[in-house]
Structure 1
């Protein structure tokens, strides 16, 4: 049995992932998640994911954004001891933060494919739009956990590439809508 690779993220209705929590990535509309009315149940998916997460995966830029914050964050305490994988061709062991559980650098899509063939539980990709596009194009993502926000951003990083790849069918596993306009969409990739 292979490990399941899950992308989880916040997305605008027009498919943009850029800067949901703030302007750190330079998107002019950064912080769009916090600008949506807060309804606790609309974020319940994030709590549900904790039960399935056995490891985390990041691209280099998302790792650089999360690594200074998540190790000491009470909201992310459950992730602290989990194995983490960072996909990067430029990151070195000296760049890794301490006291955040085991961290392994993967250098390529092929390294991710090899990791998926190992025994173990689900690996969740947080943020990391560029990584998710590459892994999706390589047909390595097994599930998409999306919270879609009622906002149109017009430009920014998207989850899905525009490359000409083979069609992939998705099966809706779970969905819900909330009073603040957020929609939860959980899709399995059909193989």
Structure 2
């Protein structure tokens, strides 16, 4: 059975919107503020995560964002992301040439539950804020890996939205990345 892992970059106040500043959000670009040593350390951890993943699960917009940037990027990390099977939740997904891509049809909760039952290993979710809200609300997330950037934005779309019931998490690990970031790993208690 698969293990759904949400892997997100966020500000201290939980904002995930426009980390690279490409969307025009006035408070965007916060991802780009880390120093070079921290960026290298973060990239090593992300590469390690991709190497241990069995698949990627993305919402449509996140898939399109990643595909445009990673489909032709050189390097081992990019090669690994291209090689991973990708499952995309969304009714209007175009194949953008980013390796093996499967669109999940119908109700996303049922589709992800079926996917989880058929894939062995980690199914990593990058970005995909709305999908993450749905997965958390329906108890389909097994683990959250939250990379926190040392900034408070005060506005913007946040990772966590309203849920139908409180969700209990257990801290599994905390580590620093470079001189600026922390990664908190939480396991969902059921």
Unpaired runs of at least 5, structure 1: none
Give the equivalent residue in structure 2 for 1:104.
102
1:29 Cα deviation after fit: 1.9
RMSD: 1.7
Return the TM-score normalized by structure 1.
0.88
Alpha-carbon distance, 1:42 to partner = 4.4
Give how far 1:172 is off: 1.7
CA distance in 1, matches of 2:26, 2:91: 28
Task: Kindly state the Cα deviation for residue 136 of structure 1 after the two structures are TM-superposed.
Answer: 0.9
Match of 2:86?
A: 84
Match of 2:143 in 1: 143
How much has 1:52 moved relative to structure 2?
2.0
Write out per-residue CA displacement over residues 138-165 of structure 1, whole angstroms, 9 at most, x where no aligned residue. Answer: 11111111110111111212111123x3
TM score, norm. by length of structure 2? 0.88
Structure 1 runs (4+) greater than 6 angstroms displaced? none
**Structure 2 counterpart SS, 1:33:** helix
Partner residue in 2 for 1:72: 72
Query: Unpaired segments of 5 or more residues in structure 2?
Result: none
User: Following TM superposition, by how much is the alpha carbon of 1:109 offset from its aligned partner in structure 2, in angstroms?
Assistant: 1.9
Q: Which has the higher helix share?
A: 2
Match of 1:36 in 2: 34
Residue 4 of structure 1: CA displacement? 0.4
Give the match's secondary structure for 1:140: coil
